[in-house]
A and B are shown apart, each in its own frame.
Chain A
Amino acid sequence: MMNENVIEVSNLTKKFGHFTAVDHISFNVKKGEIFGFLGANGAGKTTAMQMLCGISMPTEGKGTVAGFDIFKENEKIKRNIGYMSQKFSLYEDLRVWENIRLFGGIYGLSDKVIAKKTDELLEELHFQHERNTLVKYLPLGWKQKLAFSVAIFHEPNIVFLDEPTGGVDPAMRRQFWEMIYAASDRGITVFVTTHYMDEAEYCNRVSIMVDGRIDALDSPAALRSQYNAESMDEVFRQLARKAKRVD
């Protein structure tokens, strides 16, 4: 793994009035890394992620994503990242190929490239026969796989996944993580939030947010030994117990 940082953040803060949703967080993410971003509901994960994606303006601090400043260059950031939201993020009343085409178009890919990559993608997923299916008729696990493929369709430097496997069965989750590994092998950095602690074990490094701050950040193995815990689940519980905010 290369040692180049694709995300560098220091003292990043977001306040909504008197409420500090994200409180001076600092961390770096390396290229090709799978970075787990954990925290209880309301800990500030989504807000932090939105700042990194250029959706939300930080109140203080500084940071770069894919080499671009999060204050001044969020349009450039948006070009170089992929994003998969917590809610299912494709259009249910569009066909599979139409969704791919739409997002390809939004990211400025040419028709030729889109056509070629669509074929490749469908083949890879064994999805050829579903090309003309309306997305709403796909099973949830397939939808999520498709949504992930669409999020990295334009070969971004970083892909942000906000609880990508919510509600998906374990077998499907396993397949989904294989796709994440494949993307990481191709050099795409994966920034993922999750509620499943077994998934946290799959990450190269994990940060745990409590009340808007990052209370722990290391590889899963290091965290387990630091907190003298059997599993990530136990690490998480120890930290989350300290939370004062109630969702």
Chain B
Amino acid sequence: MVKAATAARRRRLTAAAFLAPFLVLFVVAMVAPVGYTIWMSLFREQSNGGLGFGGAERVFVGLDNYVRAVSDRGFRSGFANLAIYCVIYIPLMLGGALALALLLDTALVRARRFFQLALFLPHAVPGLIAAIIWLYLYTPGLSPIVDLLADGGLAWNFFDPDTVVISVVNMAAWQWTGYNVIIFYAALQAVPREVLEASAIDGAGSVTTALRVKVPMIRSAVVLTTLFTVVGSIQLFTEPRVVQLKAQGMDSAWSPVLYIYRAAFTEHDYGLAAAASLLLAGLAGGLSYAVTKFGNRTRKGALA
């Protein structure tokens, strides 16, 4: 009895010891920064000049930073750009990925491994480098695409501030479509064969089977990828930051994270940056909740 008790105690201690390194880092890299952001968002830091942290004065301002952020046109237009981006990017990328995965899963296609690898290849390229490659492919004189379009009578300026969102969407879609194809395809592989056979016996064609049987069965994969895509999209930074190198007239706070970056590191307005960060994190949380809720609503017989 005593022996069993000490064994259980030892196991609890082991669990604590195994969890400790991660939990310490989790607190340092996630919990503490969130707490500090909340605290910072309630103060206004009046920094003296460029570099002096020491000379900064901190004044409690309550929710004023939030009010300033929300009433700032730059912040709102950043959100407007982000909204347009999301509305184009998320359905296009996820819909495209789903369609490609379903196509790969039909009997129509050969050389599946080759296609999977080719589609996934862009994901092996770091996001910044992907953005840089596309930046060149958008640059007249350097890019074969711009010339090709011009020859075809479609002179397109990828750096036009009004339509630059399309250039940004393309960069992101190139990187992420293949990744999601692989996830969907893997989930499709797990759909039990009997179900598909039953569907075929019932006389369903491959399109009907795909939409009515396969898609509902991989619902959990769709919900999960939507979740990750939404959270990732909200943090849009690298692609517009790189396009900005060429697109004159593009707002320096084109996306919310660019706004936060500018507020923090150009204007040294940490309170404003913190408030904006929390608003953004709140949006991410809210949307994640909505996606999960909506995704789970009619999901009963799906995989656990």
Query: Bound pair: A and B?
Result: no
Q: Taking beta carbons and an 8 Å cutoff, which residues of A are in contact with B?
A: none
Binding site for A on B (CB under 8 A): none
